[in-house]
């Protein structure tokens, strides 16, 4: 464990500025930020030419642990996170067993404490009958409602059941916003013979209707709402008109990067996810909404399935793709294309997740903050290759694509856990503390 670490001559990045400077880390905390910092006992890391970011926070991953060890687990998922510059994650409840009671949550946290290389917390999964658990389980990222069916068997589709959850309690509610009635109607009335049908069955109309219901309930009960993985221009237009201080949303890198039908032509069912990747109009609307602040942050929805499962063809193949390892390079590649700045990337991937989820002491390079830090080489180019990834499924939708801007070093609580392809696993991550009113 590095008791004292001095990062010297790095380009320190926040959402508002980039400045050359040093960081002093003592016992897992940032204790000085400035120029020409001296400490007689410090291990010095020369960061000349590197950009120093707050550790990336990924507020939506599916690490499949417990229940699906062939896809991912908390160890391999956290290793992929570290390789991608992600120092903290919030994991979703659709595991087996689902995280819908106290015992399941306790077991997950115990498991993460023993194996996760980066910091962690978890969502409490909502059902129609576990309201007491949702409102009293200690220290969770929030409540997750699957308004439309997706991977796993967690579903709360009845509007009365959804309203009960909004009406009682004060925790943030995060919604997978797809209307189940529309999904079922589309499945019954449309052919499902090709992955090209996926965005039609899981339509923008279904996403918009569910988002409208969630926003209405948020306003009615003054409840904090986070709309997960927004995918449509229709939702963007609605949110721009109806968002208030209690409502936030996110978008995934893959919905910003890819577009239909090209992505389905290239990847087939390996591009299949819920909600789906849509056409260029939707993709460009998401890009504009992120830049305008209608969408607040980035999350990967890292949801791995094995190659054998994804090769089954449509509709048998499961929905979901890995992404925690490549999210930052994807966003930096789009930055190089002129879509946004590095300061904006830090806002969306570091600062805003910490603010929206009320994470203590993370998201910023500031005195007193936890020393969760990502050092990146903006000039480094690397071609993504299946079989050379840390995620257990070992494939990526970006296979064959060259991305520019890669993590060089990932520091968690003052400890270097990843450095240029090498992992240091002696010290594990910690449970993320959430400031919340229950």
Say what the pLDDT of residue 151 is.
Answer: 59
Mean confidence (pLDDT) of the chain: 96
Whole-number pLDDT of residue 181: 95
Rounded average pLDDT over 137-159:
86
Q: Average pLDDT of 74-85? A: 98
> How far is C-alpha 380 from the chain's CA centre?
23
C-beta separation of 65 from 72 below 8 A:
yes
* H or E element that contains 226: strand 225-227
Q: CB atoms < 10 A from the CB of 260, how many? A: 19
Report the percentage of the chain scoring pLDDT > 90: 95
State the pLDDT confidence band at 152, using cuts at 50, 70 and 90.
Answer: low
In this prediction, residues 397-406 reach a mean pLDDT of: 98
CA-closest candidate to residue 176, choices 155, 147, 201? 147
81 three-state secondary structure: helix
Among candidates 255, 177, 262, 257, which has minimal Cα distance to 215? 177
Q: How many angstroms separate the CA atoms of 343 and 287, rounded?
A: 16
Render pLDDT for 333-364 as a digit per residue (tens, 0 to 9). 999 999 999 999 999 999 999 999 999 899 99
Is the separation of the CB atoms in 207 and 251 below 8 Å? no
Residue 57: how many CB atoms within 10 A of its CB? 28
Q: Is 363 left (phi over 0), alpha (psi -120 to 50) or beta?
A: left
DSSP strands (E only) in 47-185 = 51-54, 56-61, 86-91, 119-125, 142-146, 173-176
CATH 3.20.20.140 residue ranges of the chain are 56-356
291, exposed or middle or buried, with CB in 10 Å at 0-12, 13-18, 19+?
middle
> Is 0.85 topped by the overall pTM?
yes
| pLDDT single digits (tens) 211-261 | 999 999 999 999 999 999 999 999 999 999 999 999 999 999 999 999 999
Is the per-residue pLDDT at 22 higher than 70?
yes
- Domain 4-52+368-423 classification at class level: mainly beta
On whether the CB atoms of residues 395 and 270 are closer than 8 A, the answer is yes
Q: Check pLDDT > 90 for residue 280.
A: yes
Within 13 A of 144's CA, how many CA atoms are on the CB side?
Answer: 30
Give the mean pLDDT of 359-382. Answer: 97
Question: pLDDT at position 191, please?
Answer: 83
Q: Given this model, what pLDDT does residue 1 score? A: 47
Q: For residue 251, which phi and psi values (nearest 5 degrees)?
A: -140, 155
Q: Which residues are catalytic?
A: 301
Predicted local confidence at residue 157, as pLDDT: 87
Where, residue-wise, is CATH 2.30.40.10 in the chain?
4-52+368-423
* Whole-number pLDDT of residue 359: 97
Q: Look at residue 366 and tell me whether its pLDDT is greater than 60.
A: yes
pLDDT of residue 438: 46
> Which tokens sit at 408?
């060089």
Give yes or no for residue 117 having a pLDDT over 50: yes
Q: Which of 150-154, 239-243, 266-270, 424-428 has the lowest mean pLDDT?
A: 150-154
Q: How far is CA 300 from CA 68, 110, 197, 356, 360, in A?
A: 19, 24, 23, 16, 21
- DSSP element (H, E) containing 405: strand 402-412
Confidence of residue 437 (pLDDT cuts 50, 70, 90): low
Residues 56-356: name the CATH superfamily.
Metal-dependent hydrolases (3.20.20.140)
């Amino acid at each position: 464990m590095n008791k004292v670490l001095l990062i010297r001559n790095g380009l320190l990045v926040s959402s508002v500025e980039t400045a050359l400077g040093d960081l002093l880390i003592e016992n897992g905390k940032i204790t000085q930020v400035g120029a020409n910092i001296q400490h007689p006992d410090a291990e010095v890391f020369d960061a000349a030419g590197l950009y120093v970011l707050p550790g990336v926070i990924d507020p939506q991953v599916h690490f499949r642990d417990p229940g699906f060890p062939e896809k991912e687990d908390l160890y391999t998922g956290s290793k992929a996170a570290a390789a991608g510059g992600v120092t903290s994650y919030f994991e979703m409840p659709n595991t087996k067993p689902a995280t819908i009671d106290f015992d399941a949550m306790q077991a997950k946290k115990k498991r993460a404490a023993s194996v996760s290389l980066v910091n962690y917390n978890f969502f409490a999964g909502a059902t129609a009958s576990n309201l007491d658990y949702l409102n009293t389980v200690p220290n969770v990222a929030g409540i997750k409602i699957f308004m439309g069916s997706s991977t796993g068997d967690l579903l709360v589709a009845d509007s009365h059941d959804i309203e009960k959850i909004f009406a009682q309690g004060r925790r943030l509610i995060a919604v997978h916003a797809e209307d189940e009635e529309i999904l079922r109607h589309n499945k019954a009335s449309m052919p499902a013979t090709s992955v090209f049908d996926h965005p039609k069955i899981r339509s923008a109309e279904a996403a918009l209707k569910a988002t409208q219901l969630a926003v209405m309930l948020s306003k009615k009960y003054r409840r904090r709402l986070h709309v997960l993985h927004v995918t449509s221009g229709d939702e963007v237009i609605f949110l721009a008109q109806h968002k208030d201080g209690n409502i936030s949303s996110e978008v995934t890198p893959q919905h910003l990067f890819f577009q239909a039908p090209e992505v389905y032509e290239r990847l087939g069912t390996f591009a299949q996810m819920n909600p789906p990747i849509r056409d260029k109009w939707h993709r460009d609307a998401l890009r504009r909404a992120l830049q305008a602040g209608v969408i607040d942050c980035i999350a990967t929805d890292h949801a791995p399935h094995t190659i054998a499962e994804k090769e089954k063809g449509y509709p048998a193949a499961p929905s979901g793709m890995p992404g925690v390892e490549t999210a930052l390079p994807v966003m930096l590649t789009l930055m190089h294309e002129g879509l946004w700045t590095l300061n904006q990337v830090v806002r969306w991937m570091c600062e805003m997740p910490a603010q929206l989820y009320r994470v203590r002491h993370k998201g910023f390079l500031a005195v007193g903050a936890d020393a969760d830090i990502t050092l990146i080489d903006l000039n480094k180019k690397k071609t993504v290759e299946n079989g050379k990834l840390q995620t257990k499924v070992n494939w990526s939708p970006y296979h064959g694509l060259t991305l520019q801007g890669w993590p060089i070093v990932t520091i968690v609580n003052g400890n270097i856990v990843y450095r240029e392809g090498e992992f240091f696993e002696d010290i594990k991550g910690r449970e993320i503390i959430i400031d919340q009113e229950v």
